[in-house]
Amino acid sequence: MAPSFSSAAACIAPPLPTLLVVPTGIGCAIGGYAGDALPSARLLAAASGCLITHPNVMNGAALYWSDPRIQYVEGYSLDRFAAGELALRAVRQQRIGLLLDVGIEPELRQRQLQVAQGCRATLGLDIGPVVTSDVPLEVHLCRGNSGASWGELGQPDALLQAGERLRDAGATAIAVVARFPEDSENDALSAYRQGSGVDALAGAEAVISHLLVHHLGLPCAHAPALLPLPFDPLLDPRAAGEELGYSFLACVLVGLSRAPDLVPLTSEAALPAGADLLSAGQLGAVVAPEGALGGEAVLACLERGVALIAVANQSVLEVTSEQLGITSRVQRARSYTEAAGLLLALREGIAAAALQRPLPAL
């Protein structure tokens, strides 16, 4: 007699909530472009059964992938979650308020609105209201000594005030579109499009979303407003997703549509009784690039004793387990495929050492 689906399901281990971090703006070989870490995220979600990750991993400009096993959590919120200051509550649908920079030219603004209208009509997303900032947000792009990108906002108060208006009008999540500087002749941009540079926009995007989440406590994500770039026949495949259209907004709207609510906690012991919340105390693993282990989320997980899987994923940073003095607490993976195998071993309760040869005697 063939086994039933229900008996087969009973053999599957429960999910192992896992944090996937690929820091923004540091030029990771996987995750340094728009959405090129998505295949890895999908694999890790399948291996763990529950993956918590951030927009830098999931946003593929005009491309996106919705998976109920993946929780879309903005970077600042991810850090607070890992520190035990926030819990996550799954939702069926968010009402996404759209915040547009008044500095966006009329035709480019209309393009953003058309993307939102398309997502309403084609994907059934709940979008609205639309609010425009009172003054241009004045985004400035910067680069640190390490080569990582970051940015500044000339009018942060205008951003926060527009966000407040959306929240007060009933938005439960916020998508932001800010006008970014054009520099199509820049050598660094050319190198990036051909596969050997750092995303110059990513650091400034993180500043915008961090500010809003910190101020409002709502899920937020950002898409830059830019004019289409000139045709480049030498385009790297990882950059191709950014060249498919005139807007980066679609992936943000899809990600936010089911982003979990952010529930503040005074302590993990204070989790509401009976609440269906995901907290840091449930984390079974954190996966991060081997040279970028100094972020808040990774360090908070280490402090909790959460298993750390460091993946070979080259970037401009070299904050390794050796530099942090944590070599004995790290499992190394040569790829995200290998990391998925380690997650499966953790999920099934199989000692990773038993999978290696030679197997040392006790």
Q: What is the pLDDT of residues 299-337, one digit of tens each?
A: 999 999 999 999 999 999 999 999 998 988 899 999 999
Q: Nearest to residue 220, comparing CAs of 280, 179, 178, 192?
A: 178
pLDDT at position 176: 98
Task: Report the pLDDT value the prediction gives residue 90, as an integer from 0 to 100.
Answer: 96
The amino acid at 350: I
Task: Summarize pLDDT for 33-59 with one digit per residue, the tens.
Answer: 889 999 999 999 999 999 999 999 999
- For 116, the 3-state DSSP assignment is helix
Tally of CB atoms within 10 A around 361: 4
Q: Which residues touch 96 (CB under 8 Å, ≥6 apart)?
A: 125, 126, 127, 128, 171, 172, 173, 174, 175, 253, 256, 257
Q: Return the pLDDT at 272.
A: 60
Give the predicted TM-score (pTM) of the model: 0.92
- CA 200 from centroid of its chain's CA atoms: 17
The arrangement of strands across the sheet holding 277-278 comes to 261-264, 86-89, 277-278
The confidence score (pLDDT) of residue 269 equals 59
Q: Which residues of 344-356 are buried (b: 16+ CB within 10 A; e: fewer)?
A: bbbbeeeeeeeee
User: What does the pLDDT read at residue 273?
Assistant: 57
Give the residues of the chain that fall short of pLDDT 50: 1-6
Q: Domain extents for the chain?
A: 11-90+275-355, 95-259
Q: Which fold has domain 95-259?
A: Rossmann fold (3.40.50)
Among 2.40.10.170, 3.40.50.2000, 3.40.250.10, 3.40.190.10, name the CATH number for the domain at 11-90+275-355: 3.40.50.2000
pLDDT of amino acid 3: 45
Two tokens, residue 77: 């919120």
The C-alpha atoms of residue 6 and residue 22 are separated, in whole angstroms, by: 36
